[in-house]
């Protein structure tokens, strides 16, 4: 009796069946509609469906390609190589395509992008933003189209990207493990149903998948016909100023993302509502305000200004705070220091302490005489 064993084919999870990932789904769809957005950075702990969503998006694109960039890939593996010997021998350029060429029309997925060398990340982002990959070697160059959706994922526990690189990702979504009991049950039930019979599960989602694929293509065709008003532009500028972002890359990205969302919803024009719905994914990795409200920031500025006063004024202010502190006992020793009020008034200040001296016998000459 013989038993035949077959390797099961790994089918991607349907994009429309993702549960509890509305923000991630929106960001991925916007990046698929307008490739000039520069890709999506997905940050989150393990097991939050980052790679599942990336693979699912590829099925919605015309080519349906899904290319993975391994961490150990070289620059030539990414961009491709030129055969210089053939160019010198018969004046013809032979180009060996890399991963950027293979991903054209699909998704280029980079897991743990924060662990890649900065040079490779630069090349990735350049190609994703321009849609062109250029390879040069010994005075010979070759360029080809490289339009793809760049999706980079990272686990914050394993380190961050440099600010100069993270800012170049168009959109970012920060995922969490999810602590809602009902939502976790829905996610697990859905995944178990898919694992039990992937073909039947995908068949149930086939209609929604087909409709979504058509919507993405229609949105791609419509973005060039949509424009934004001065009101929309003013809202974008106000949000970026409030977030204290560097440069105007966030403004440009937010306008593009709002336009892509309007095209996806078949709207006649870009509205302020579209801007508000894409703002978080644009500002998530760019804001410098740390999510602090205007009132709290103003309070911090007043404390900083007071702390910058001369030492005598800071001491008076610290003494006044101590007297007004209800936790200070009425019979406290006048020389006793209230650490709570002192910490509020003189952050990091240490009183001078005497330092002992030790007598050293003899002097060691800097340049001893030679004998």
Active site residues: 249
Q: Of 323, 236, 313, which is closest to residue 275 (Cα–Cα)?
A: 236
Distance from C-alpha of 136 to C-alpha of 157, rounded to nearest angstrom: 37
Q: How many CB atoms lie within 10 A of CB 149?
A: 27
DSSP bridge partners of 154: 43
Q: Are 266 and 217 in contact (CB under 8 A)?
A: no
Q: Are 187 and 145 in contact (CB under 8 A)?
A: no
Distance from C-alpha of 261 to C-alpha of 302, rounded to nearest angstrom: 41
Q: Which pair of structure tokens corresponds to residue 204?
A: 């149930």
How far, in Å, are 41, 125, 169, 196, 282 from residue 164 at the CA level? 14, 11, 10, 44, 15
Residue carrying the six token digits 């003494």: 319
Q: Which pair of structure tokens corresponds to residue 202?
A: 């995908």
How far, in Å, are 8, 59, 86, 192 from residue 203 at the CA level? 17, 14, 50, 16
Structure letter (DSSP) for residue 9: P
Mark residue 97 as left, alpha or beta (left: phi above 0; alpha: psi -120 to 50; beta: remaining): beta
Specify burial of residue 241 (Cβ count, 10 A radius: 0-12, 13-18, 19+). Answer: exposed
**Backbone angles phi and psi of 166, in degrees to 5:** -65, -30
Distance from C-alpha of 37 to C-alpha of 170, rounded to nearest angstrom: 5
Residue carrying the six token digits 């911090």: 300
Distance from C-alpha of 239 to C-alpha of 280, rounded to nearest angstrom: 10
């Amino acid at each position: 009796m013989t038993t035949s064993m077959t390797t099961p084919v790994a089918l991607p999870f349907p994009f429309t069946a993702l549960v509890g990932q509305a923000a991630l789904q929106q960001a991925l769809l916007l990046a698929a509609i307008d490739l000039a957005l520069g890709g999506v950075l997905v940050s989150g702990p393990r097991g939050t469906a980052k790679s599942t969503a990336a693979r699912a998006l590829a099925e919605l694109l015309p080519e349906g390609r899904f290319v993975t960039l391994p961490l150990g890939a070289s620059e030539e593996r990414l961009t491709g190589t030129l055969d210089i010997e053939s160019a010198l021998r018969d004046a013809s350029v032979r180009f060996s395509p890399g991963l950027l060429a293979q991903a054209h029309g699909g998704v280029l997925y980079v897991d743990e992008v924060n662990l890649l060398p900065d040079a490779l990340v630069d090349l990735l982002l350049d190609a994703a933003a321009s849609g062109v990959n250029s390879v040069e070697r010994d005075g010979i160059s070759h360029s080809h189209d490289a339009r793809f959706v760049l999706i980079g994922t990272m686990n914050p526990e394993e380190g961050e990207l440099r600010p100069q690189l993270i800012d170049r990702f168009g959109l970012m979504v920060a995922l969490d493990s999810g602590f809602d009991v009902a939502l976790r049950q829905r996610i697990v039930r859905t995944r178990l149903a898919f694992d039990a019979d992937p073909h039947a599960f995908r068949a149930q989602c086939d209609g929604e998948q087909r409709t979504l694929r058509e919507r993405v293509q229609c949105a791609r065709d419509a973005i060039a016909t949509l424009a934004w008003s001065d009101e929309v532009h003013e809202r974008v500028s106000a949000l970026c100023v409030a977030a204290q972002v560097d440069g105007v890359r966030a403004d440009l990205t937010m306008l593009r993302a709002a336009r892509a969302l309007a095209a996806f919803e078949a709207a006649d024009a870009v509205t302020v509502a579209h801007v508000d719905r894409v703002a978080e994914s644009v500002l998530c990795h760019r804001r410098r305000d740390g999510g602090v409200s205007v009132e709290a920031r103003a309070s911090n500025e007043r404390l900083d200004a007071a702390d910058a006063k001369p030492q005598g004024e800071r001491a008076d202010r610290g003494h006044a705070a101590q007297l007004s502190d209800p936790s200070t006992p009425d019979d406290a020793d006048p020389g006793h220091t209230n650490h709570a009020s002192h910490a509020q008034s003189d952050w990091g200040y240490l009183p001078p302490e005497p330092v002992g001296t030790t007598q050293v016998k003899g002097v060691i000459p800097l340049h001893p005489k030679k004998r």
